[in-house]
Amino acid sequence: MAKKNWKFKVGLTLIIISAFVFLSLLIVPFLEIDNTAKISITTIIIVVGEITFWSGGLLLGKELFTKYKAYMNPKTWFKKKSQKDDSKTMDKNDQL
């Protein structure tokens, strides 16, 4: 149980760090450096963000990783949760 506990904490921390790494992309266009350096920094940030995100996902496991990935997807932020509940009740009524 102790191994799972540290894996969970480290995995979740890595996913949170990856979110901040990706948010740092918003700062790059405003830096006072050459465009080639901006492109290089952007590439490095994307690679580091992906590595930390997927490393955290491997430590969390498949179930928790897909759950947190769905929370971070902006497409699912405003969907109603009652749609799934309505389909379950309709299936029960159809069987009667």
Per-residue pLDDT of the chain (96 residues; tens, 9 = 90+): 555 678 888 888 999 999 999 999 999 999 999 999 999 999 999 999 999 999 988 888 877 767 777 777 777 777 766 555 545 555 555 555
pLDDT attached to residue 8: 83
Residue with tokens 């997807």: 73
pLDDT attached to residue 24: 95
Q: CA-CA distance, 90 to 32, in Å (whole number)?
A: 59
pLDDT attached to residue 39: 96
Q: Is residue 56 part of a domain?
A: yes
Q: Is residue 93 part of a domain?
A: no
Q: Is residue 95 part of a domain?
A: no
Q: Range of 46's domain?
A: 2-77
Q: How many domains does the chain have?
A: 1
Q: Rounded to two decimals, what is the model's pTM?
A: 0.63
- Taking alpha carbons only, the member of 56, 19, 21, 16 closest to residue 41 is 21
Q: CA-CA distance, 51 to 93, in Å (whole number)?
A: 47
